[in-house]
Structure 1
């Protein structure tokens, strides 16, 4: 039986894995295990699965979930760097109480979108990513809302995250007050779906749609289908 050639280079698998082998324990010690419930950290782990299994669904889920938010992260960081406070998403990057090494690890927010796009382009986009990521993201929001520290909680270690995934508003120091908390949570979850996940899903489907009409599908140089109907 002829072996299917790998679609992802070995150096990428090794470098990405090495980064996570450093980042995960450092984050665990400094930020605690709940930090890995952030959408971006979950997406990192999904990418790791795709990198080694070369399955499209995990990378596609990460693409749906965080491509647009990571663009906002980059814009917010540049704004903070230039002295303009935008959303406050990256204020921690300028916190001198955190080591440069710890803050430097967070620069993965800048290159992760490019890695995700590379993975989706190379492996193909799986349309199941929209419902799969939405259910996962909503579950993470519910966990953060019911069981994790809300915005405004003062912890003994200020590096431990509160208000994970912004389920209590966009200000970690104070919960939002313009809506009842449960109503805000539902609205936030629906906003994620309508404003972020659906447009990204549609864009990726259009970007990777087959050029041939009918049922014909375009093949990649490796012989794999660039896109397939789910």
Structure 2
């Protein structure tokens, strides 16, 4: 079967990820790769090579919404010098080396690449179920192996400071409901209308 994704793209993307991983690992630690955006960054390597519509669809409903918010926040601050929602605040932190912040520009390309791959491969509607299962594992794991300062996937609170209104396990449980119902499901329904079904 003829490849749908160009070989050059697969090679360049794989090289980029292989270069990024050890640098991020040294700078942020292994737990940083539990961020859904980092999971998507890594998982897109096999998704590209195997041209797997299900995996691409899972990654897309997982991160495209949040990546869109990140980009709005980043370009708004870039244009105005003022923060909007703070998702990309670290990109303007002079304490972080410019080279590290430059690597984080993958947040600009990642959602565009995922949407393009959905256009090429189609959207697999099983993605909602499987990505929900992934979130049920990743969110509690993020809480167990990270701390409030890292706040990976916002398991300690939606702002910069840890939330103190709810018991921590209850807050994580609510996130496990919020992600699928408020993010994955609407995105799933949108993509099911926007893109042809995978394999069609």
Above 0.5 in TM-score? yes
Are the counterparts in 1 of residues 123 and 196 from structure 2 also a CA contact under 8 Å?
no
Report the equivalent of 2:76.
79
Q: RMSD of the alignment, in Å?
A: 1.5
Report the equivalent of 2:94.
96
Are the counterparts in 2 of residues 208 and 227 from structure 1 also a CA contact under 8 Å?
no
Render the CA deviation track for 1:127-168: whole Å, top value 9, x for unaligned.
Answer: 1111111111221110111232124xxxxxxxxxx1110011
Are the counterparts in 2 of residues 168 and 181 from structure 1 also a CA contact under 8 Å?
yes
Report the equivalent of 2:189.
202
Report the equivalent of 2:18.
21
Report the equivalent of 1:215.
none
* TM-score (norm. length: structure 1): 0.82
What stretches of structure 2 of length at least 5 have no aligned partner?
Answer: none
Report the secondary structure of 2:117's partner residue.
helix
C-alpha displacement at 1:22, in angstroms?
Answer: 1.1
Q: Point out the structure with the larger helix share.
A: 2
- Aligned counterparts of 2:173 and 2:76: Cα–Cα separation in 1: 30
Task: Indicate the structure (1 or 2) with the bigger Cα radius of gyration.
Answer: 1
Residue 159 of structure 2 is aligned to residue 171 of structure 1: yes
Residues 55-70 of structure 1: pairs in structure 2 closer than 5 A: 55-70=52-67
Q: Which deviates the most, 77-86 or 40-49?
A: 77-86
Report the equivalent of 1:105.
103
C-alpha displacement at 1:194, in angstroms?
Answer: 1.4
Report the secondary structure of 2:140's partner residue.
helix
User: Where has structure 1 moved over 4 Å in runs of 4 or more?
Assistant: none
- Aligned counterparts of 1:89 and 1:106: Cα–Cα separation in 2: 12
The match for 1:188 among 147, 153, 175 is: 175
C-alpha displacement at 1:79, in angstroms?
Answer: 3.0
Q: How many residues align?
A: 199
Report the equivalent of 1:123.
121
The match for 2:146 among 134, 145, 148 is: 148
Render the CA deviation track for 1:21-47: whole Å, top value 9, x for unaligned.
Answer: 111111111111111110001011221
C-alpha displacement at 1:52, in angstroms?
Answer: 0.5
- Aligned counterparts of 1:208 and 1:227: Cα–Cα separation in 2: 11
Render the CA deviation track for 1:48-92: whole Å, top value 9, x for unaligned.
Answer: 111111111111110010010000001111233223322221111
Are the counterparts in 1 of residues 54 and 124 from structure 2 also a CA contact under 8 Å?
yes
Larger RCO (CA within 8 A; separation ≥ 6): 2
